[in-house]
Amino acid sequence: ILNVEQSPQSLHVQEGDSTNFTCSFPSSNFYALHWYRWETAKSPEALFVMTLNGDEKKKGRISATLNTKEGYSYLYIKGSQPEDSATYLCAFPWGQNFVFGPGTRLSVLP
C-alpha cells in the first residue's frame, strides 16, 4: 500500500500570517509530486508539479519545495488571505493512478 501523508490535518491562521504544511511520500521510485488546491464547491486546481530534488516553485504568495531523498514536500503561503481558505492536497503518481494525501484544510480568519 502506498502511503502519502499530509500534516497538519487542519490549520487555522489569522489573515496576514504565513503558514506551511507538509506532504510525505515514498522516496523510492519517485517521478513527480503534485500539489492541488481544492476550494469548497469548486474543482481541485493544480498548483505545482514538482519533479527535481531541490525544486522550488512559486505562484504568487504560494511556493513549494521538494526533497525526494527524504520524501517530503513543503507548501508555503506568505501573508495568508481569506481566499486562501481551501483544502490543499498533494498527489503522488503511481502507474496510471494518482495517490492523494488526506489533505490539509486551511482556514484563514479575517
Show the CA angle centred on residue 17, arms to residues 47 and 84, nearest 5°: 35
User: Is residue 28 within the footprint of other proteins (CB under 8 A)?
Assistant: no
C-alpha grid cell, residue 21: 504544511
User: What's the CA gap between 73 and 71, in Å, rounded?
Assistant: 7
User: What's the CA gap between 35 and 91, in Å, rounded?
Assistant: 6
- Among the candidate windows 15-23, 57-65, 77-85, 94-102, which touches other proteins by CB under 8 A? 94-102
Do the bridges between strand 72-77 and strand 62-67 make them parallel or antiparallel, or are there none, so unpaired? antiparallel
Q: How many residues appear in the chain?
A: 110
Out of 51, 63, 65, 67, point to the residue binding other proteins (CB under 8 A).
Answer: 51
Q: Would you say 95 or 110 has its CB closer to other proteins? A: 95
User: Is residue 44 within the footprint of other proteins (CB under 8 A)?
Assistant: yes
Out of 16, 54, 79, 102, point to the residue binding other proteins (CB under 8 A).
Answer: 102
Binding site for other proteins (CB under 8 A): 31-32, 34, 36, 41-44, 46, 49, 51, 89, 91, 93-98, 100-103
